[in-house]
Structure 1
Amino acid sequence: MEFLKSAIGSAISKGPPFPYTFGDRVDVDNSIWSLFNGTKREDGSSCSIFSFEVNDSTRSRLPLAKNAVRKLRTLRHPGVVRIIDTVETDTYIYIATERVTPLSWHVKRDSLNTETIKWGLYSTAITLKFINEDAASIHGNVRVSSIFTTESGEWKLGGFEVLSSMKDDDPVIYKFGGLLPDSGRYASPEVLKGGWDALKSQAVNAADSWNFGTLIYEVFNAGAFTNSEQLMSAKKIPQNMVTPYKRLIQQNPKTRLSIAHFLEQGKRSRGFFDTPLIHVSEFVENMGVKTAAEREEFLDKLGDTGDQFPEAFFKMKILPELLKSVEFGGGGPKVFSVVLNIGDKLSDEEWESTITPCIVRLFAVPDRATRVFLLDNLPKMIEHLSKKIVNDKIFPEMLTGFSDVAPIVREQSVKAVLTVVPKLSDRSINGDLLKYLAKTQNDEQPGIRTNTTICLGKIAKYLGPNTRSKVLAAAFTRALRDNFVHARNAALMALSATVDLFDEIDCATRMVPAISPSLVDKEKVVRVQAAKTLEAYLQRIKTLTSSYPETVIPSPTAASEVATPRMGTVQTDNSSWTGWAISSFTNKLGTASGEIQRVQSPAVASMGGDYTRSASVPTMSPSRPDAPIQSKTISASSFNRTTLTSPRPASSFLDDADNEDNDPEAWGDLDEDSFFDAPEPNKPKPQAPLTTKTSAWDFDDAEPDISAMLNKSKAPLPKGLAKKSTTAAPRIGLGSANSSGKGSTVTARQPVKTGGTMKPIVGGAAAKKTEVKKVEDPWGNDDDADWGDSWDK
């Protein structure tokens, strides 16, 4: 083999240029030619090379080779092997043709089905009819070894070694017909009896009709023909073809059926050539000029005969014609559906070279029917499309569908996102795609809004981590407020599907509050789904917080080592939920040591401390001048020695609802600069007893601002937190108060609003009853009030 290649290369180098490279040798039976696979050096396209080497053993057959070259150059027909180039020298003859394969390969392997054989015989019969009738010639070499199949699976006629025109002065077949390999086995009865010159007195088709009959026998019987006696056995030949077949192999050439008549009988209604496969092959050549009704009929036949065609015929012959019809002939979606069915048989390289360019051009077509069909069938195409093609060519065209006025285009565009998103870049997904999906989620069509929500839920894993939770939370919470029930339900299902994409903070602060209103939705399907979704998020929160510590409050031991305020422990008594949750100080008396720094508190000033009294404050006197005052005046020194704690704010008038003088409105507008001045030194006032009670209001060492509390008289303490006094506060100027066992109780000064100035109540005179106005209780004193809102104040 290597020697043969080197010899051919040496011959080429010495002869005229032949711009083709020889490849593998192909076996050919009963032929004067050697067949090689070849490639064209210029573009690398494939071809076949028929080679005839002139030497002593082949020189006698040189006229046959030269006749074949001449006839191939002059006889052009679709059923004849297409010639590309030839080179002829004294030592060799090369013929470059389209890439072909010997039919004998398929016949010996018995790989051809009946319908494919009929289709091949039909095309061969058409070619022979042309040669006999139109060209007035005799082929003379019709056999399996003279027929080749192209890359598209079509049968092409070759073997023109003795092809002769009856118009020639000296036809080659009469003189050199006997030089054909196995000429005796394939020769007609008249030739066997009278030689090749016997054909001069016969019809031009006589020899070819006989050889066409032997061809029929060979292809249906896997090439088992050895002599003419076998021809009478027609078991494997289709029944409707048997009668015409037997007329082809008549011993008498006068009664022998011509190939033209055989073809005519086969094309009759229900004839052996009346098959869908043959009709499709004829139609595909002229598809571009056919009417819409004719194309519809053709496509129906093509669908019925898909398995009967050779796979190569779909790829090389029908597919290009279908693509032309889709792009330029108005074939429409139905034609393209057949294209996709054929495309399943193509490799990725074949897909990219044949179908991908057509798809890119079709996406640029503004026809809505074509766009909808492309989007609908995108799952069949996406695996064959590269990421670069999708991002650069197809996706930009898809974006126009999101804004189309036709709802069907917008809806199909949203659905197609699920198919195309795996091949989109992060920039395309988190940029253009999300922008257009935001528009479709506000679409006027509820179905499009619903599908957009579903789409976002399914493509959530492709979103960038920086925008995922933000986009999904905003989109799903918006859909939860949609007035379309299926949109709300879709949002809940999408939230369930994406629960793992949110952290515990988002789940607790955004998702759970957004889902909760759906628990009372008017539609049961939404309520049921809301309960499932909420349970999923609560479980998610529980899982994420399971690793949290029990508390972040430092332990007492650690707190003593660090100079931080000491806090009490949380009360766990569930029976007293109204009690204070935390005590600011411990209950150990030993820790309360030292003196408390004196602070000039407004409460102390109001209790008669020896501070400088403002002249604007009126003096107070007992109701009876002669009545002894049993209370003791507390000096500044004794006041300083008294343990001072934060008094309960405004408890003297806020807690006693029955005391008519404890009217908060009677205080008017308090002026801290004038009212809380200390009394004059020469007029000491009774002091209220001081107690050493720790106030629950204190969370640090600073004394509470009682003045600020008094100014907030319109928002008194919540109900239940202010303890009512069981003993009415003594009125100013009315006798002496009862003394307790531990000492005298001083009378309390209670300022009363009378005309904007402070005046004491005169002893013996009936105190004017002032109507006590009800103070609104923001903590829920009223049964109808929403006490939970007060926590936000």
Structure 2
Amino acid sequence: MDFLKSAVASAISQGPPFPYTFGDKVDIDASIWTLYNGTRRADGSNCSIFAFDVPANKARLPLAKNAVKKLRTMRHPGVIKVLDTVETDSYIYIATERVVPLRWHVKRKSLSPETVKWGLYSIARTVKFINDEGSSVHGSLRVASIYTSESGEWKLGGFEVLSNVKDDEAVIYTYGSLVPDAARYTPPELARSGWDTLKKSPHSAVDAYNFGTTIFEVFNGDFMGADQAGQTKGIPPSMHAGYKRLVNANPKARITVGAFLEQGRRSGGFFDSPLIKLTEGIDNLGVKSETEKEEFLDDLDQLTDDFPEEFFKMKVLPELLKSVEFGGGGPKAFGVVMKISKKLSNEDFESRVQPVVVRLFGNPDRAIRVCLLDNLPHMIDRLSQKVVNDKIFPQMVSGFADVAPVVREQTLKSVLVVISKLSDRTINGELLKQLAKTANDEQPGIRTNTTICLGKIAKNLGASSRTKVLLAAFTRSLRDPFVHARNAALLALAATSEYFTEEDCAARLLPAICPSLLDKEKLVRDQANKTLEVYLQRVRKAAAGMPDTVQPPPQTTEGAGPRMSTPQPSEASSWAGWAISSFTNKLAAASGEIQTTRVEVRSPEPDPSRRVPSTTSSASALHRQAVKSPSPAPPLSRNSSTSAAEAYFKDPEPIEDDAGDAWGDMGDMDDDGNAFFDASSEPAKTVKKESVASPQPLDDGSEPDFAGWLAAQAKKSTPGGGSKPLPKGLTKANGKTSTTTAAKKPLTSRPATKVVAKKIDTKPKDADDDDGWGDGW
């Protein structure tokens, strides 16, 4: 083999330039030619090279020269396409399109019956053209003369004795018997009387007989001689009648190949098949009318998987792609493209189909866009991540805002298909931005599908924004008026529970789910119970692992204790038990009697061994002291000119009390409807300034005395008592403290101030939304 290649290369170097490179030798039947695979040096494209060695076959040189001449002049789609020829005294080379001998397929029996019919139809058309339009005789028609191209089409060669019947010096009369294996395929009349008999019989009779033997050979493998002519073994029954007439022993009784072709093309004939109709119509698909195009595409869609893959890849697919992109083929043509693409390798798909798909996504035709999105699952595995993320998805984005709901919905469904091919930046940026819009779509079905989509792509979302997006989207859907949207939100919450913290489950999700337990639709109520159980289990599991308390152990001193004690295990039987015992403990430590009215104290100097809290402060003031005192204050001096409680109530600008506002105006009413913490309704008795005992701060060791702190601040603000200014609201315009005047005014003269409940803003704070995703949802 290496020697042969070197000999060929040496011959080429000595002759005219031949811009093709020889490759492997191809095995063929007995022939005057040696067939090689080759490549074109200019572009590396495939070709075949028929080589004839002149010194070794001088007797058959006229056959080789006739073949070169006829191949160059006979132009027909069914004839092997010639690229270049070279003739010297040493060799003859014919460079053609890349072909494979049909004998290979026949031996392997790799051809389906429909493909064989399609191939015979193509050869019959070519022979008819040679006989009728060319007024010629092929003279050597057999399987060995037929090749298949890269597109799978059957191409006719073997033009060694092809002759025009009007030429008296035609090669066929003189050299017909020199063709290899000529005796096996020669018609009976020629075997008896020689090739000159052609002049006495119809010139198409030889090709008709050889076409019949070719039919037998294709279906059975080999034709051994005239004895097998007429046998119908393996031949489809629909061909029997026409086949027998082709191989009739009487040349004048034979039908022509053209007649056999017309017989097969009749309705219901053996050549009446979608595959053959496709072959006839594919070349002029772009110029067909809309009706013809619809019929053609319907025939294409009816094709089974039993079609020649190479033909569809090389011939049909390019024409269909052109029709879809430029010729108005529409979605139906693209559907056939996808059907053919299933047979393509990844390399062929990338080179032939992918560029057109990318361009089609930029097509504004809605029908094309929906068709592309419908077929996206069939081709997504063959599209690279770079192509999807950088070229296809940016074109898909326009579908989210299309005015046609079907485009928006189909685009939304396609997110699940392309999500694996999108980058994190695209997912957490442009995609979430578009989903935030479809979550508010006017179409309830699109809103529902958005919730479903988010639930399914939750694992693909960024960890930093996932919780915020899902919380905002699902809780919003729980309030959707569309029943299936609410149900989808509950389903999505149940499926994505792993992405929420226990705090989110308890504080945000459970309160959001609970209203659905009383939804008007049973479908929603049932799902709400299931979803609620999922989150309750998470919360219970988290609570089971928490410590009993995080409070430090209580530290008490003699004679003093906390105002509210920690509930003991024995008190757990009643939820109010701990509160009652706490007040009991406090009453045991208190001394003195509770007065409902202020009493005049005559003792000029109080007994230091027994300090009683000043009765000038009302019970309500004491209560507020216990609740609002920010820090303990030192005892006031005995010569204090005012009561701390009176100073607190005299404040012209009430100090903000958030806790009170949050609870609202409780009314301070007792069981009988009277003011609970009000002072006595009787006028207060006059108390002499010098006989008022210095109020003793109520130091319980745990909470500060807010009234005492105010009195201390008042003392510091008096002349000579320090320069630190009083808190806002305790200073009059003339610079004197307001507590002096307040001390002279009865407590009951101050009008009751209505406590207005402060509205609690339940809207999430902006600061809580770091990325701003909540706003979008």
2-structure distance, mates of 1:106, 1:656: 107
Q: Residue 202 of structure 1 aligns with which residue?
A: 201
- Describe the shift of the 1:644–1:297 C-alpha distance in structure 2 as closer, same or farther (beyond 3 A): same
Q: Residue 284 of structure 1 aligns with which residue?
A: 282
Which of the numbers 539, 542, 547 marks the counterpart of 1:541? 539
Matching residue's letter, 2:145? S
Is the aligned partner of 1:664 residue 2:678?
yes
SS at match of 2:52: strand
1-structure distance, mates of 2:391, 2:693: 95
Deviation (angstroms), 1:398: 1.0
Deviation per CA, 1:312-363: give whole Å up to 9, x if none: 2222222222222212222211121111111111111111111112212221
SS at match of 1:86: strand
Is the aligned partner of 1:124 residue 2:126?
no
Is the aligned partner of 1:221 residue 2:215?
no
Which of the numbers 588, 593, 605 marks the counterpart of 1:635? 605
Contact map agreement 2:64 2:160 (CA 8 A) in 1: yes
Contact map agreement 1:660 1:771 (CA 8 A) in 2: no
Matching residue's letter, 2:61? L
2-structure distance, mates of 1:134, 1:99: 27
Higher mean displacement: 35-44 or 447-456: 35-44
Deviation (angstroms), 1:420: 1.3
Contact map agreement 1:12 1:18 (CA 8 A) in 2: yes
Contact map agreement 1:368 1:409 (CA 8 A) in 2: yes
- Describe the shift of the 1:329–1:685 C-alpha distance in structure 2 as closer, same or farther (beyond 3 A): closer
Contact map agreement 2:230 2:248 (CA 8 A) in 1: no
Q: Residue 734 of structure 1 aligns with which residue?
A: none
- Describe the shift of the 1:78–1:551 C-alpha distance in structure 2 as closer, same or farther (beyond 3 A): same
TM-score, normalised relative to structure 1: 0.77
Deviation (angstroms), 1:20: 2.2
Deviation per CA, 1:648-700: give whole Å up to 9, x if none: 97349989999999993778999xxxx99x9544xx36899x9x9985xx524
Q: How does 1:442-461 map to 2 (within 5 A)?
A: 442-461=440-459
Q: Residue 23 of structure 2 aligns with which residue?
A: 23
- Describe the shift of the 1:587–1:269 C-alpha distance in structure 2 as closer, same or farther (beyond 3 A): closer
Matching residue's letter, 1:136? S
Name the count of aligned residue pairs.
Answer: 672
Deviation (angstroms), 1:495: 1.1
Which of the numbers 609, 618, 635 marks the counterpart of 1:650? 618
Q: Residue 370 of structure 1 aligns with which residue?
A: 368
Deviation (angstroms), 1:229: 0.8
Deviation per CA, 1:483-535: give whole Å up to 9, x if none: 22211111111111111111122222222222222222222222222222122
Which of the numbers 391, 394, 398 marks the counterpart of 1:393? 391
Q: How does 1:671-686 map to 2 (within 5 A)?
A: 679-681=688-690, 684=691
- Describe the shift of the 1:662–1:510 C-alpha distance in structure 2 as closer, same or farther (beyond 3 A): closer
SS at match of 1:95: strand
Q: Residue 503 of structure 1 aligns with which residue?
A: 501
Q: Residue 3 of structure 1 aligns with which residue?
A: 3
Contact map agreement 1:326 1:336 (CA 8 A) in 2: yes
SS at match of 1:21: strand
2-structure distance, mates of 1:208, 1:659: 123
Which of the numbers 696, 699, 702 marks the counterpart of 2:702? 699
Is the aligned partner of 1:87 residue 2:86?
yes
Q: How does 1:45-56 map to 2 (within 5 A)?
A: 45-56=45-56
Q: How does 1:588-607 map to 2 (within 5 A)?
A: none
1-structure distance, mates of 2:406, 2:477: 21
Matching residue's letter, 2:311? F
- Describe the shift of the 1:687–1:301 C-alpha distance in structure 2 as closer, same or farther (beyond 3 A): closer
2-structure distance, mates of 1:658, 1:186: 128
- Describe the shift of the 1:685–1:246 C-alpha distance in structure 2 as closer, same or farther (beyond 3 A): closer
Is the aligned partner of 1:571 residue 2:568?
yes
Deviation (angstroms), 1:587: 8.9
Matching residue's letter, 2:610? T
Deviation per CA, 1:688-720: give whole Å up to 9, x if none: 9x9x9985xx524x44537989xxxxxxxxxxx
Q: Residue 765 of structure 2 aligns with which residue?
A: none
Deviation per CA, 1:715-750: give whole Å up to 9, x if none: xxxxxxxxxxxxxxxxxxxxxxxxxxxxxxxxxxxx
Deviation per CA, 1:734-767: give whole Å up to 9, x if none: xxxxxxxxxxxxxxxxxxxx999559xxxxxxxx
2-structure distance, mates of 1:652, 1:290: 97
Q: How does 1:146-545 map to 2 (within 5 A)?
A: 146-168=145-167, 170-223=169-222, 225-545=223-543
Matching residue's letter, 1:174? Y
Higher mean displacement: 129-138 or 11-20: 11-20
- Describe the shift of the 1:106–1:685 C-alpha distance in structure 2 as closer, same or farther (beyond 3 A): closer
Deviation (angstroms), 1:539: 1.7
Matching residue's letter, 2:405? P
Q: Residue 597 of structure 1 aligns with which residue?
A: none
Deviation per CA, 1:151-190: give whole Å up to 9, x if none: 2221110011111123445211112212111111111222
Higher mean displacement: 257-266 or 656-665: 656-665
Matching residue's letter, 1:294? E
- Describe the shift of the 1:687–1:212 C-alpha distance in structure 2 as closer, same or farther (beyond 3 A): closer
Deviation per CA, 1:247-288: give whole Å up to 9, x if none: 222222222221112212222232222223222221222222
TM-score, normalised relative to structure 2: 0.78
Higher mean displacement: 482-491 or 1-10: 1-10
- Describe the shift of the 1:656–1:380 C-alpha distance in structure 2 as closer, same or farther (beyond 3 A): closer
Deviation (angstroms), 1:772: 15
- Which ranges of structure 1 fall in alignment gaps of 5 or more residues? 593-602, 609-619, 621-630, 710-753, 760-769, 780-785
SS at match of 1:467: helix
SS at match of 1:309: coil
- Describe the shift of the 1:774–1:607 C-alpha distance in structure 2 as closer, same or farther (beyond 3 A): closer
Matching residue's letter, 2:522? K
SS at match of 1:160: coil
Higher mean displacement: 237-246 or 576-585: 576-585
Deviation (angstroms), 1:778: 11
Contact map agreement 2:614 2:694 (CA 8 A) in 1: no
Deviation (angstroms), 1:634: 7.2
Deviation (angstroms), 1:200: 2.7
Q: Residue 39 of structure 1 aligns with which residue?
A: 39
2-structure distance, mates of 1:662, 1:246: 122
Deviation (angstroms), 1:440: 1.2
Matching residue's letter, 1:101? V
Moved over 6 A (4+): 565-568, 581-588, 643-649, 652-663, 665-670, 706-709, 770-779
Q: Residue 624 of structure 2 aligns with which residue?
A: none
RMSD: 4.1
Deviation per CA, 1:74-122: give whole Å up to 9, x if none: 1110000111122222222222211111111111122222222221111
2-structure distance, mates of 1:663, 1:319: 92
Higher-Rg structure is 1
2-structure distance, mates of 1:112, 1:757: 118
- Describe the shift of the 1:566–1:33 C-alpha distance in structure 2 as closer, same or farther (beyond 3 A): farther
